[in-house]
Structure 1
């Protein structure tokens, strides 16, 4: 049975390769062997010059401009495992409390690891999700890292700063 599957795969690959080779060299009827290579190279060049550019994933957060305008949260980029969520939509969300918003900011954490770069000013407390997390915050020119335990409120930023300075949440990392 395994030998039959290998044979079928080999035949399928050979058929696809043959079709691709035929389509690359086809295009006229009067060409001799030396013209075929020249025409195929020209056809490929034309397609490459006219085709669309490459799609490169920049991990930018979708709808970041709209979210900034509506909620005053700058979401930069992430791996898709920490996403903005409606609070109380599902249990176990990460909650961020800030003085500049009248409502809490919640994130759904999926997978075993996650990353999100963002900017949320004046953060003073974070409730962890079902995974432990580390958050990076800045104050002045300093960067500080806080460990947020899972399913527990953790004072961060200005609530633990001896001078009570306003801290900006810059990054969230979850998982092992």
Structure 2
């Protein structure tokens, strides 16, 4: 009997302690939010970042324009500008106005819009790639050979006109 009585007292004390802990944690909340609760929630919500919404603008495009004089506009993130010396298997774009410009392609497909003037050659990689170019108001598309050089722009134009590279599209 003494053992049962001790167990009942212990369980009663534990239940009371749990109830007191609950009241302490909830601040004695009755389930109805107070103005103080709402203010605390608003303060916490105001500190958190908002939702991320993809706008497809190329990250750090302003810095790239300032440093490399390359206009990168929008893309899906699967074609990115890289340092040509950092590896192999890149898509290489050659322009009279710049050194070799390299792009890494990842995933099953990708696209990137840009403005690179005076492009005359592109070396493909393992992806099927098309480039869109403009000359004046005229638009031209070129299929790029895999892992080989393809003449594009002025080197493929009968009149030798300067072409601007405006889009790259790649897929596996």
How many corresponding residue pairs? 148
Deviation at 1:147, TM superposition (A): 0.3
Tell me the residue number matched to 1:57.
54
Query: Which of residues 145, 150, 157 is equivalent to 1:154?
Result: 150
Tell me, yes or no, if structure 1 residue 93 matches structure 2 residue 102. Answer: no
Q: Tell me the distance in 2 between the aligned counterparts of 1:54 and 1:82.
A: 24
Q: Tell me the distance in 2 between the aligned counterparts of 1:75 and 1:115.
A: 11
Query: Which of residues 161, 168, 173 is equivalent to 2:169?
Result: 173
Tell me, yes or no, if structure 1 residue 115 matches structure 2 residue 111. Answer: yes
- Normalized against structure 1, the TM-score is what? 0.70
Larger-gyration structure (1/2): 2
Q: Tell me the distance in 1 between the aligned counterparts of 2:154 and 2:112.
A: 21
Tell me the residue number matched to 2:18.
none
List, as ranges, runs of 4+ consecutive aligned residues in structure 1 with deviation greater than 2 Å: 27-31, 36-39, 49-55
Q: Deviations over 1:30-55 (max 9, x none)?
A: 86x8xx4998xx77x957x9575432
Q: 2:66 is paired with a residue of what secondary structure?
A: helix
Q: Tell me the distance in 2 between the aligned counterparts of 1:119 and 1:163.
A: 21
Query: Which of residues 50, 57, 75 is equivalent to 1:78?
Result: 75
Q: Tell me the distance in 2 between the aligned counterparts of 1:72 and 1:106.
A: 14
Structure 2 gaps, min length 5: 1-25
Relative to 1, partners in 2 of residues 1:30 and 1:131: Cα closer, same or farther, differing over 3 Å?
closer
- Normalized against structure 2, the TM-score is what? 0.72
Tell me the residue number matched to 1:124.
120
